[in-house]
A and B are shown apart, each in its own frame.
Chain A
């Protein structure tokens, strides 16, 4: 069966050890967490965790069943096939030189990226988008003198409940 990236949304009670339980379920069942993002929901006692992981459909279903068994897990949803909006964000620190500056600023403009901080010889850019957008942006910026970056996990929300 085909191995692909799966996006799983998990609603949990906001307790100190709940992330450890979830991480343990992934590793204990042989899965790797490719990306993760977590924060509170409208109800601050409940946290939404969105995790992406590689696996085929069948094994991911098994994983979801195991996650559902965790006492503090309230809901597990596979967003891979749901009609969900998925975004990531990356902050990129660029070295600015006479050679790259114009090109970078033009791209920021056309692609509607943001400049978060600007110094004489460095700047920090913010890019949000789908996974592919971010991959492309990073590939481009790497060639343009990227110094470092930090990339978030996927955040995702379904179009409809």
Chain B
């Protein structure tokens, strides 16, 4: 039997168990969309290709599967670039299928031709230009394999139009992966034995966990590890939810807007057990003042993350899961014990820091953004999936929605992409129809992909958008307030548009609260409405995110409030 390239593509997607894609059509992918018309696979038709890639990313983050996105050549492809870079920075497995002009036209500046493999080379884990139909099946399978194996990441496949139309005998399709085997797995036993020694000798150990624990699905092992050792733990923005925020061992997030106690613990520990983190500059701040008294034990699947900025004393280039499993096994063995007295003294010190400067804010008649997040946390019992936009809204969400569950917080950590949260929430809701999904948004960011309201309404996705509307590009304003003499250059966006009317224009539900006492009722109403809901909270315009470590300062150099 003969198959078209488009058919081979869907056969390959089926082999990879991809049942949902996020796509937007165009000339170069007409044959693929024509085949899609006959297929069972579900396409979520977005309104902008950036929406498609972020939705695929959000879908991947909550489902643990590879997200798939399908767009046309030229502008369709370039519209996905921000989202690809976003997935690359946060190590999210997505496969991006782009149409390309016919093979014979490539290189001739044809209509809607763009060298998308060239453009995305530095921000994909790998990319392919399909040159022959014979390669298509194999390439799709390789793409999925590359996207999800090792340190995950985005993979792009550029498919010329003629290839989607040409025919191949099904027996001639090669499905076999031909990838170099770079995963020479070294044994972790020796390193783990050394790690155990370091842990045994440490007087003030601290765990810092990151996105790698979530990507490696090692949250159970992490929880056991912390309990067995009875040590404090802090988790980076990307790692929130891997360890329950409600557990007394947890110190909140470290870094620029981290808690006082997390930053103090980092600055005073004598052993930093770093699990699946890559030491972003927003976490370390001034490098030579980072964990100055600590030996660093770093476990990360990507050897290139090790010793990149923070010098390690012992590193294990491995997935966190097997390392934690082995350590847990050895630690639970009776003969391993840390001196009780030391453990107690360290935990008491950490407790003192917690009591000295807990995360707080001042209530007022005007709505405090922190209060909105806190109330949302209470009303959803911490069980919602939360996505965020970028800016103050993102930091308040991270600080005041106390994440107890893995894969329930999706945020643009590495790239800081305004406009990420809403389409990502759509992807999350598609993956988890049973869950309450809320995008905690800023009035600036939400306008960057607001067109996806049409998508959400179209597919009856009951995503909730909570806009912390401060009339400002708030994070920019905060920096201008602190570092640029309050010259608010082009950061004022003054409560335009009317988000309630805008929601209604799209067929969604719009709600507004302008005073503190309306917050709870508005949230309740929004959460109880089984539709796409936009909640517009007019919050204190000049509220700041605190604590704050000034860029480039030492982590101990925190400003605790205005």
Binding site for B on A (CB under 8 A): 13, 17, 20-21, 24, 28, 61-62, 65-66, 68-69, 71-74
Contact = CB atoms under 8 A, between A and B. Distances in A.
B93 to A, nearest CB: 14
A74 B304 contact: no
Q: Which of B122, B126, B129, B304 has the most CB of A within 10 A?
A: B304
Q: Which of A24, A65, A66 has the most CB of B within 10 A?
A: A65
Given A17-B121, A20-B118, A69-B304, 8 more contacts: A20-B121, A21-B121, A24-B122, A61-B307, A62-B308, A65-B304, A68-B304, A71-B179
Contact of A65 (B180, B182, B303): B303
Interchain residue pairs A-B with the least CB separation, the first 8: A65-B304, A71-B126, A74-B180, A28-B122, A65-B303, A24-B121, A66-B304, A24-B122
A77 B510 CA distance: 60
Contacts of B302: 69
A17 B191 CA distance: 37
Contacts of B308: 62
Contacts of B206: none
A139 B332 CA distance: 70
A71 B180 contact: yes
9 contacts: A17-B117, A24-B121, A28-B122, A61-B307, A65-B303, A66-B304, A69-B302, A71-B126, A74-B180
A74 B117 CA distance: 21
B304 A62 contact: yes
Contacts of A68: 182, 303-304
A72 to B, nearest CB: 7
A30 to B, nearest CB: 13
Contacts of A65: 303-304
Contacts of A69: 302, 304
Contacts of B126: 71
A25 to B, nearest CB: 8
Interface in B109-167: 117-118, 121-122, 125-126, 129, 146
Nearest to B181: A74
A68 B302 CA distance: 11
Contacts of B122: 24, 28
Contacts of B121: 17, 20-21, 24
A73 B125 CA distance: 13
Contacts of B129: 17
Contacts of B307: 61-62
A112 B146 CA distance: 51
Chain A contact residues: over half helix, strand or loop, or mixed?
helix
Contacts of B182: 68, 71, 74
Interface string B52-76: 0000000000000000000000000
A71 B126 CA distance: 7
Interface residues of B, number: 16
Nearest to B178: A13
Contacts of A17: 117, 121, 129
B180 A72 contact: yes
Nearest to B125: A71
Contact of B180 (A13, A28, A61, A62): A13
A65 B304 CA distance: 5
Interface string B86-112: 000000000000000000000000000
Contacts of B118: 20
A24 B146 CA distance: 20
A63 to B, nearest CB: 10
B319 to A, nearest CB: 16
A124 to B, nearest CB: 35
Contacts of B303: 65, 68
Nearest to B311: A58
A136 B179 CA distance: 45
A21 to B, nearest CB: 6
Nearest to A58: B307
Nearest to A69: B304
Nearest to B117: A17
B146 A71 contact: yes
A24 to B, nearest CB: 5
Contacts of A72: 180
Contacts of B304: 62, 65-66, 68-69
Nearest to A63: B304
A21 B128 CA distance: 12
A23 to B, nearest CB: 10
Contacts of A28: 122
Nearest to B303: A65
Q: Which of A13, A21, A69, A72 has the most CB of B within 10 A?
A: A69
A68 B150 CA distance: 13
Contacts of B180: 13, 71-74
A66 B129 CA distance: 22
Contacts of A66: 304
A69 B149 CA distance: 12
A124 B307 CA distance: 49
Nearest to B123: A28
A17 B302 CA distance: 23
A11 to B, nearest CB: 9
Interface in B417-431: none
Interface in B169-188: 179-180, 182
Interface in B284-306: 302-304
A13 B303 CA distance: 21
A28 B85 CA distance: 14
A74 B180 CA distance: 7
A140 B317 CA distance: 51
Interface in B470-488: none
A69 B126 CA distance: 10
A120 B125 CA distance: 56
Contacts of A62: 304, 307-308
A64 B126 CA distance: 17
Nearest to A70: B126
Nearest to B309: A62
A74 to B, nearest CB: 5
B318 to A, nearest CB: 15
Contacts of A73: 180
Nearest to A67: B304
Contacts of A24: 121-122
A28 B124 CA distance: 13
A28 B121 CA distance: 11
Nearest to B306: A65
A71 B139 CA distance: 13
B85 to A, nearest CB: 12
Q: Which of B118, B179, B182 has the most CB of A within 10 A?
A: B182
